[in-house]
Amino acid sequence: MSAQSWLTHLQTNGYRLTGARRAVISTIATSTRPLSPAEVYEAARAEYPGLGLVTVYRTIEKLEKLGLIQRVHKPQGCQAFITAANGHQHLLLCQICGSTLLFSGDEMEQLYQDIAEQTGYIVRDHWLQLFGICSQCLEGQHV
């Protein structure tokens, strides 16, 4: 989904399209890696110098609520955001360069059953992120 379609989606849902919001959306939509709110703020200020950090957080909140972006948890503990997956996919995150890759696969039914038996919970959903090193970093291109 392009930045323009995100803007249209926001407008359709009653949100104003300010210059600051456009800069935040453009920054996240064109990024090839997850960005923290601080990274969005720094990058988007090049496009809109008057941008405030509160606007970044509010725009991220709206984009996440509308399902346009998804939260990524980095091994260092800080949260970042990327374009939302199309359908039910999982995330691979490179611990060196920060690149991400979405993958499909959901053979988790036995695990759900085992957890339910052990805990008494009924598992209704999951969120899977795997951390590792991408092929470019393994080849030394990002090291």
**What pLDDT, on the 0 to 100 scale, is given for residue 56?**
97
Per-residue confidence band for 47, with pLDDT thresholds at 50, 70 and 90: very high
Q: Which of 72, 104, 100 is nearest to 90 (CA)?
A: 104
Rg (CA), the chain: 18
Mean pLDDT score across all residues of the chain: 86
**What pLDDT, on the 0 to 100 scale, is given for residue 1?**
65
Give dist(CA 51, CA 66) in Å, integer: 22
Asked whether the CA dihedral 138, 139, 142, 143 is positive or negative, the reply is positive
Domains of the chain: 3-83 (1.10.10.10), 90-138 (3.30.1490.190)
Q: Which of 34, 30, 20 is nearest to 79 (CA)?
A: 34
pLDDT of 84-103, one tens digit each?
Answer: 876 666 778 888 888 888 77
pLDDT of 56-76, one tens digit each?
Answer: 999 999 999 998 998 887 766
* 89 close to 36: Cβ distance less than 8 angstroms: no
| pLDDT higher than threshold 80 for residue 117 | yes
**What pLDDT, on the 0 to 100 scale, is given for residue 106?**
66
